[in-house]
Amino acid sequence: MFPAATYSSTAVTLANLIHMVTGWGSSGALMKSSIVKRSVVIGGHKTSVSLEEPFWTDLKQIAHVQHVTLSALVTQIDDTREQSNLSSAIRVFVLHHSRLTQWTGHGLAGERNQL
C-alpha cells in the first residue's frame, strides 16, 4: 500500500496527466487544441504533419534563414530522424536549433548552418 502523502501526490499528477492527454481542462470543459495540421511534400509525396503553431512558425523561419523550402527542410529532418514519428522529429529539430542558437549567441537571422 502507498503512504497517504504519496498516493495523494500521485493522484494529482495522474489527474493533470489525464487533462493533458484528453484535452479536458480542470474545469471539465473541453479545451481548444493548439495543434495545426498542414500538408508538406516529402520525396514527391504529399503528407500531413500536425504541430503546434509555435513549431510551425519557427520551422518556417529556420527554412527561410537557410534559404530552403519548408518541404526541403522537412525532407532533411525526415531523412535523418531518429524518432519514429515525423511530428516528434520536427519538434526535436526545432528545439535543438533553438538551443544551439541560444548557446552560440546567434539569432536565426545570422544563422546559416544546418543541423
**What total of structural domains would you count in the chain?**
2
Domain match, 17 and 59 both:
no
CATH number at residue 49: 1.10.3990.20
Residue listed under C-alpha cell 520551422: 59
**Cα separation of 64 and 67, whole Å?**
5
Give 70-98 pLDDT, tens digit per residue: 999 999 999 999 878 999 999 999 999 99
- What grid cell was written down for 13? 499528477
- Assess whether pLDDT exceeds 70 at residue 14: no
Domain match, 49 and 61 both:
yes
What backbone phi and psi angles, to 5 degrees, belong to 19? -65, -40
Burial of 59 (0-12, 13-18, 19+ CB in 10 A): buried
Domain match, 66 and 27 both:
no
Give the type of residue at 35: I
For the full predicted model, state whether its pTM sits above 0.75. no
Domain match, 56 and 104 both:
yes
Give 40-75 pLDDT, tens digit per residue: 999 899 999 999 999 999 999 999 999 999 999 999
Domain enclosing residue 49, as ranges = 35-110
Residue 18 lies in a domain: yes
Residue 13 lies in a domain: yes
Domain match, 24 and 43 both:
no
Domain match, 13 and 25 both:
yes
**Cα separation of 15 and 9, whole Å?**
10
Alpha-helix residue ranges (DSSP H) falling in 23-85: 53-65, 70-80
Domain match, 5 and 49 both:
no
